[in-house]
A and B are shown apart, each in its own frame.
Chain A
């Protein structure tokens, strides 16, 4: 049998195709570079000495790089402790949000009961009232529960629906799953809860991944929530710690370079998680595709 040689990349593509590709990549790279400038600035400031940080025009590559800034910044305040606090909050909220939001979204997209659409709008309307308006009433509520200065106000709400944003997002995804799958499962004697657990959840993995990423990043960067509810120094989250750091070093000899060094370290987890998740997403697009 004659073997068919697969043509290599260069054989398949004409010169014009390659030229178009190169042009496209150059345009994309220029765009990416412009978007990355604040990031480079942060990294370069993190490696500077105190005086260099305020030089105009800015020196992009500091000589010599002050690598010790990372250690000095991290140890000025107990950032290790803050990191542990933040991770505790994130782990518990993440679990709560994924499960409760998907369960509520399942109800709104698959079950039929009187007043469903009205309830859905009531839920959506919780997003329409700005945070600045609900901030004080929520605080008073949690004060009555004696939850101030604990992690509870930040964690427990995640178990009661997980927020209108995630419910709405998941509902939109659940509605794209063909109902024939439910029917097939129901004929086999599946209960509603089992349909949710065994059919909807596995098919909505990309959406759940999105929820997880958003939940992580929001909790990680959340400043207002911890600021309102946390008072003790040893219960601070990293966002609060960074703000406290900024306030404390404002008038000292070591300033923005150390802050930027810590900010850079604190950005890394988000960046790493995002890169990994993104690879998952793109692989998913190539390999699978829900069979309708």
Chain B
């Protein structure tokens, strides 16, 4: 939320004034100015959310240890159990590599889509 607040600050107020002169309502201003101008920040939170979710660990580790019936067994928790409870370091390292590749591919896909919906004022040629 703090990140969004900081992002809101970067939006020039002239854009809103111009839109008001053209008769734009609240929703029109939100969709046509706020969202596009915030898109770099939204993009950041999206990428961070995806990377962070793949690495869900603490909640499951503290609250359930993967139970009941493995219903809350997350990838990293599985990795952690193999590595530090069964001491199968090689297997755990291989798991880590696979997770890394999965996250990397997801991130690259998100980055590829960003050309279509993220607006950077600081990049030329638009």
- A127 closest partner in B (C-beta): B51
A37 within 8 A of B: no
* Docked complex Cα distance between A79 and B62 (Å): 26
Q: Which residues of B are found within 8 Å of A177, using beta-carbon distances?
A: 10, 121-122
> With A109-B122, A125-B100 as given contacts, are A290 and B2 in contact (CB-CB < 8 Å)?
no
Q: Is the CB of A213 within 8 A of B2?
A: yes
Q: Is the CB of A130 within 8 A of B96?
A: yes
Which applies to chain A's interface (DSSP): helix, strand, loop or mixed?
helix
B6 within 8 A of A: yes
Taking CB atoms and an 8 Å cut-off, the chain A residues in 118-132 that contact chain B are 121, 124-125, 127-132
* Docked complex Cα distance between A173 and B11 (Å): 11
* Docked complex Cα distance between A277 and B9 (Å): 13
Taking CB atoms and an 8 Å cut-off, the chain B residues in 96-117 that contact chain A are 96, 99-100, 103-104, 107-108
Q: Which residues of A are found within 8 Å of B123, using beta-carbon distances?
A: 175, 179
* Docked complex Cα distance between A71 and B116 (Å): 58
Q: Is the CB of B79 within 8 A of A176?
A: no
In this complex, how many residues of chain A approach chain B with their Cβ under 8 Å: the count is: 40
Report, as a range, how many residues of chain B touch the other chain: 35 or more
* Docked complex Cα distance between A84 and B83 (Å): 36
* Docked complex Cα distance between A175 and B122 (Å): 4
Given contacts A121-B107, A172-B43, A172-B44, 11 further A-B contacts (CB under 8 A): A128-B51, A128-B99, A128-B104, A130-B96, A168-B48, A172-B41, A179-B121, A206-B10, A281-B9, A284-B9, A289-B14
28 intermolecular pairs with C-beta atoms under 8 Å apart: A110-B122, A124-B47, A128-B107, A129-B100, A131-B55, A132-B76, A132-B83, A133-B92, A168-B44, A168-B47, A169-B44, A173-B6, A173-B10, A173-B40, A175-B120, A176-B121, A179-B121, A210-B2, A277-B2, A281-B5, A281-B6, A281-B9, A285-B5, A285-B8, A285-B9, A290-B10, A291-B12, A292-B121
